[in-house]
Each structure stands twice: as structure tokens, then as C-alpha cells.
Structure 1
């Protein structure tokens, strides 16, 4: 019996030693993969390509014929399948709500298109050529700088958003705040393939490659060091940038902090199984148990599976199809703002946003024909480069703001495996996935609190 016990002890020790070694291997930071900062992503061959570094004003004016044609399309009879009795948005976009959106879009919004276009033009828009791609961006400089520290800020959106998300946030960042010593020079680009920014013509253009392009943009504008704030894909592009170019990062702030490090995924599984043991009282009010987590994933991940496998198929279905495009985009502004809104016949779309703001965002996709190129990022993210980057530690100062109704909330327990300098971690009882558009003041206040902790 003594021999058997000794054998078991030795075997147990060996297993534990192997597990410890495996943990250490997974926990260590991998070196960032070497990515070319000049790789060509435009159409055709790079042999005759010569980059034009000029930064030019960009006119986002829309051809009046396009607006007239859109009104004509929206005037056609809507042949919709009636929504089931007593159902809101549980089965998707409610048919009666769609009729109302279409009528408002046609008879109010587009009738006043000149005013909407002027609103979208209130900031200065620019374009430049980087790695074979046209890059569009808003450049908003501080209104007054006396007594303030001016900090460059790269502001990044995600899908199905656009630079329109930032129209109420930018003035907060660029106008003097008596309660803050900081003011910001904001660069808000359309992600490559989104809105007025050209999509890649080559396979393999994912978030890491977008990070290279946008870092090159900031360098071109004279900002060798800058802050970054991002949500959704903007958050992923931001972490990729922080991993690849830590020398350029003053700090990283996100309202969509995620961690797909292998150990983080294990930690998340443990956290959902034993929430009472691993979460404090504040965190328990934000995260879901394992059943709720799985249910939400099944309900909300259908679009992801389609776009991560056949983005051009769904893209073709939405191109030149304004009703389909609006339904596909606006449904996310319902369920990702508050999951409870799906019980409402109008999806709660105007509870937190104006219909004009929502349609501005839809229009940016429509007038630029960018829905297909915006969705390809979901397929490109599944690459060896991004797998490696998930295991590259982020050592720049980081801040993570969570909002109550965001579909995905990641705790510090999970984030610790990637973010090694998480100096700011907050939970807000209001807001969802699009806080810059929904509650810009709250997002601004959180960002300022983060910047003060960096003490630039």
C-alpha cells in the first residue's frame, strides 16, 4: 500500500508540475509579430505604387440624385410579413416599427437632407493615402488651449457604428472643461472599409493591419505619442496597436475591453460557474451567470457567424437595399443598447437616441456602399496574427469602462492576463454598447478620470 501511495504522490506531483509549467508558458507575453508598416493593400500590384502623403480636405457631400433615388425606393410599397401577435423585437425587427421608420426616413429625414448633411459636415473632414488605401478622418482641434494640456487622441468606432457616434463626444473633448486640465486634439477616422475609408483589395486585412494603417495616420499627422479610446472593433484595433506599437501609446481607454487570452477564457468559465466567490457586489450587478451568458450568445451571435464565414453573401443582400440595410443595422441599436428593448413594439430605438442620429449612421453605410467591406473584418479576425496578439501583454496604462446593458462585460479577473497596467476600472449603471452616442457625457467623464490617473 505504501508503494502505491508513493507512486500516486509522484504522479500527482508530476501532473501538478506539468500544469504549473503549462500555466507559466501561457502566462508569459509572446513577442509581437513583425508586421510591415508599408505593406500594400490597394488594388492591383504594388510595383508601380508610389504613396502620396498629402493630407487633403475631404468633401462628404452627397449627389442629390442619390437622395432622390433613395426617396423613390422608400416610396415603393412595403410587402412585409406581419409580425406575430403580441411580439415586439423578439423575432427581429417589428414590421409596424419598420413602416414607421421608413415613413420618417422618406417624409421627414430625407426632406431635410440638406440640414442633415450640414450637420455631418460640422467637423473638418480629411483624407490621405496610406498603404494603397484612402483613409478618411475627422480632425477636430481644441477650441481654446490657454492653461490646458493638449493631448492627441485617436478615437475609434466599431460595427455597425461609424464616426457619427462621436458627434456629441467630440465637442466635450475639444472645448475647455473647467474641471479638467486636459483638452484634446481629436483624430476620428472611419475604420478601413467603413464609410468613406477605402476597404482593402487583398485577403488578410484584419484588425492588426488596420492598427498599422491608423498608427501610420497618427505619425503622418505629427503625433508620435497619443491616447486611444475605442469601442467594439475600435477596442480590438486599439489593443492590437498597443501590442504592436507600445512606444506610441500614452494610454488605452475602452468601453469594450475584451480579453481572449487562453487563461482569460478559462477564468471567464470559472467566473460564470462561481460568480459569488469571484465577484464583488458591484461586479455581480453587471455580469451574467453561465446560463444567461450562453442564452445571450445564442440570441445575439447569428450576425457574427454569418459575417465571419460569408461576409460577401450578406453584403450583397444589403447593398442597394436601403430597407434591408436599415433593419440589419438598427436592430443592433435596439438589442445592444438594452436587451429588454426587444420586448417593445418599436424596439426602444428612440428611448436613448434620436431617429435622426440613427438614420445618419445608416446613411453613412448607404451612401458609401461600405456594408460589405465593413463586414469582412469578421472573417479576417480569425488569423494566426490575431491569435498571437491575444497573448501579447498590454503594458501601456489602460482604462476599462463597463456599461450595464452592454451584451459583453469583462471583469478585471479576466483582463489581468492581457492588461498588465490596468489603472482604471469602472462600472456604470446606465448605458449599453454605444455610450458615445447614447450617454456621451458619462463616457467623457470616465475618460477624463482615466487620463488624470496617467498624470501626463
Structure 2
């Protein structure tokens, strides 16, 4: 596999030079890409990285006919320390690789906390080393059912969840379907689409103070900027939702195309202004980290099946469930990085999650916060779960 990969990289056709004065505004800069390709083929330490990627215990279990790959890390702590189950969920174009820096932080006890986490991190069906579906329809709602079965099979009838990207959509579905299971839901990048959310957003365009705090208004308004940004950056979403297999063929066959497509998202989604930088701002991550993540897709040949989640999620069947219009009272904690794809204020988030205990707003960071700033996310997760446990203790006393 490695020799074949190197041959494909080294024999790629000459890339079209970028236009004069263009950095990443047209997509991934081909001059910058050549540096990543050279590193991947000539310097990336495959054997060493294989050991790194296998550092955590990994398992597979069959759920509804699909083998689901997952990492399970148990903390090594004294018996007096409470161990809490934490399900952490990734999305696209990420993978389990996003969690390798944060898992040790979550499984080690911290001062001022009398608990620590046992972490369960599954690869989404169709991603990485989890089986792909053979028929259409496997979307976030169906994955929510599968993840619940996974947690029950592991012996956890109640658990906490941390999620971002598609993981947040799946965790919202779990919290909606099975509120009795979820002790607390932590989301970085929470986004809801209730019947009133768009109306509130539009109303805020005329009266921002009714919807969002004044010092955060520029994250949502003016609406002209918001709509322009959506049109400019979300063409991929329409493509994946309509013809995923067409683009999937090219990305599955070409490591060059796969690298460009995935790395461009790590540039723009970390900070939209990175598109104006010659290097795309990718120095927020190491080259090893970024190539590790691509290897999850290349090694398993899963990019095509992974992007099908968009088609399944935006199918008429899935949209008809209208899950965001079913409120959930599961204790919720939201973290919003400054450069998250979209900002939604608590006034909108609470239309779906009626029991938001806290809303952490960062003045830094982007979409891949677990990958970019694991220390920050881990600290927030500990704070959230402490608040969740206090919430449940308080309710027990009232009962």
C-alpha cells in the first residue's frame, strides 16, 4: 500500500500554477500542495506513525450488520476516583485522529476534579475502519441508534457525549431519541435548524440586540456577509448531498486530489481569513497530524462512503424527521470558537436544547478545536461534566 501510494504521488501530473496574487481564494494553492506531497512521499515516517496511530486500544463490534471500529481508553486511576463514560464523536473531513491529543487529557485526573473519563471514540459508519453501508439511508439519526447500541453493549446505560461537526448532529439525535441515556451533552459548534431559528436570525438582521449580545453581533451580522460566506464556502456540501459518488471516484483514486480537498478544509475552517495567506494558515497543525488524518481515509479507501453522509442526511426521508423541532431537556454545554463555521447565539440554540447550562464563547480557535487546541477543549469538557453532575445531584435532592 505504501509503495503504491508513493508511486501515485510521485507520478502525479503537473499541477496548474495559481493565478497571480492568489493564495487560497480559489481553493488549495498548488505551489503549497507540492510541499505537502513531497513531505508525504519522501519524509512522512510511515512505520513510526503506524505505531502512534495504534497507541490506543482499538476494537470492532458488529451493530446492525456493520462492523464498527472504535477506540476505548480506560484511565489508570485509584479506585476512589470516579470513572465516567464519555462518548466522543467526530465528523468530516476529520477522523479519530482528531482525538489523539485530547484522549490522554481526558483520561488523566485533574486537580479540583474527583472524576476522570473512560473514552469511547467510534469511527463513523463508512469512515476509516468502520464498515460502509450497502444501501442508502444511513444518516445521523440511524447512526444515533447505532451509537446508543454500542454504549449499551459496552455496559453503559447512561453516559456523557462530546461532539463536533457531524458528531454534533448525531449527539443531538441521541439526546432527542434517548434523553434518559444522556447525562450531559457537550457540543463544540452547536447548530440548530428549528422552524423559528431562521426567522429569529432574519429578525436579528434588523434588531441584532434582540438575538445576540452586542459584542458578538459581528459573528452573525450583517446577513449579507453570512449569505455571501455560505455561497462561497458551501459548494462542497451541495455536491456531496447530490452526487457524492462522482467526486468520490476521483478522491478515492488520487492521493493528490484527496490531500488538496481535505487540507483546504483544515485551512479555511480553522480561520476563513487563512485563504489570504500563502501557506493557508495550516501551521496551526503539524504536517504529521494532517497527513495522519488523510491516511485514515486513504488506507481504508473510505472517502467515497464517508461523504455519502451528506446525501443521506439531506434526503427527503431524513429531513422529514424534523428532529430539531423536537426539544430536548438533556443538560447541554456549548463551546463556540471564534472561527467556527457558523455562530448561533444561546437565544437560538435554546429553541432546541432547552437546558443549556453554559455557553462558552472563545476569542480564538476554529472548527477543529479538539485537533487545534486540545487543552482548551479538555478543560471545558471537565467543567461541563462537573456542572452536569451537580445539576443531577441538585435534582435528586429536589425529588
Normalization by structure 1: what TM-score? 0.83
2:373 paired with 1:439: yes
Q: Is the 8 A contact 1:157 1:163 kept in 2?
A: yes
Alpha-carbon deviations, 1:234-270, whole Å to 9, x = none? 0000000111111111111100211111111211222
Q: Which residue in the other structure is 1:102 paired with? A: 37
Q: Which residue in the other structure is 2:338 paired with? A: 404
What is the Cα deviation at residue 288 of structure 1? 3.4
1:297-446 equivalence runs, <5 A? 297-350=230-283, 352-382=284-314, 383-386=316-319, 387-446=321-380
Q: Tell me how far apart the structure 2 counterparts of residues 278 and 390 of structure 1 sit (CA, whole Å).
A: 19
Q: Tell me how far apart the structure 2 counterparts of residues 270 and 87 of structure 1 sit (CA, whole Å).
A: 36
Alpha-carbon deviations, 1:169-204, whole Å to 9, x = none? 100100111132220010000011110011111211
Q: Which residue in the other structure is 1:70 paired with? A: 5
Alpha-carbon deviations, 1:4-37, whole Å to 9, x = none? xxxxxxxxxxxxxxxxxxxxxxxxxxxxxxxxxx
What is the Cα deviation at residue 77 of structure 1? 4.7
Q: Which residue in the other structure is 1:20 paired with? A: none
Q: Which residue in the other structure is 1:142 paired with? A: 75
Q: Is the 8 A contact 2:201 2:211 kept in 1?
A: no
Q: Which residue in the other structure is 1:258 paired with? A: 191
1:444-455 equivalence runs, <5 A? 444-455=378-389
CA shift in 2, pair 1:323/1:393, >3 Å: same
2:152 paired with 1:219: yes
Further displaced range: 134-143 or 409-418: 409-418
CA shift in 2, pair 1:307/1:385, >3 Å: closer
> 1:430 is paired with a residue of what secondary structure?
coil
> 1:235 is paired with a residue of what secondary structure?
helix
Q: Tell me how far apart the structure 1 counterparts of residues 381 and 216 of structure 2 sit (CA, whole Å).
A: 20
2:16 paired with 1:81: yes
What is the Cα deviation at residue 388 of structure 1? 2.4
Q: Is the 8 A contact 1:143 1:176 kept in 2?
A: no
CA shift in 2, pair 1:271/1:183, >3 Å: same
Q: Tell me how far apart the structure 2 counterparts of residues 402 and 379 of structure 1 sit (CA, whole Å).
A: 26
Compare CA radii of gyration and give the structure with the larger one.
1
What is the Cα deviation at residue 385 of structure 1? 4.1
Alpha-carbon deviations, 1:335-391, whole Å to 9, x = none? 0000111001111112x1001000000010001011111111111112344442121
Q: Which residue in the other structure is 2:163 paired with? A: 230
Q: Tell me how far apart the structure 1 counterparts of residues 365 and 300 of structure 2 sit (CA, whole Å).
A: 29
Q: Tell me how far apart the structure 1 counterparts of residues 210 and 354 of structure 2 sit (CA, whole Å).
A: 23
- Residue in structure 1 matching 2:223, options 275, 279, 290: 290
Q: Tell me how far apart the structure 1 counterparts of residues 211 and 122 of structure 2 sit (CA, whole Å).
A: 39
Q: Tell me how far apart the structure 2 counterparts of residues 135 and 369 of structure 1 sit (CA, whole Å).
A: 16
CA shift in 2, pair 1:327/1:366, >3 Å: same
Q: Which residue in the other structure is 2:396 paired with? A: none
Q: Tell me how far apart the structure 1 counterparts of residues 218 and 356 of structure 2 sit (CA, whole Å).
A: 21
When the two chains are superposed, the root-mean-square deviation of aligned CA atoms in Å is 1.3
Q: Tell me how far apart the structure 1 counterparts of residues 221 and 58 of structure 2 sit (CA, whole Å).
A: 41
Q: Tell me how far apart the structure 2 counterparts of residues 270 and 135 of structure 1 sit (CA, whole Å).
A: 44
What is the Cα deviation at residue 285 of structure 1? 5.1
Q: Is the 8 A contact 1:126 1:137 kept in 2?
A: yes
1:236-255 equivalence runs, <5 A? 236-255=169-188
- Count of paired positions: 388
Q: Which residue in the other structure is 2:109 paired with? A: 176
2:44 paired with 1:114: no
Q: Is the 8 A contact 2:128 2:297 kept in 1?
A: yes
> 1:319 is paired with a residue of what secondary structure?
helix
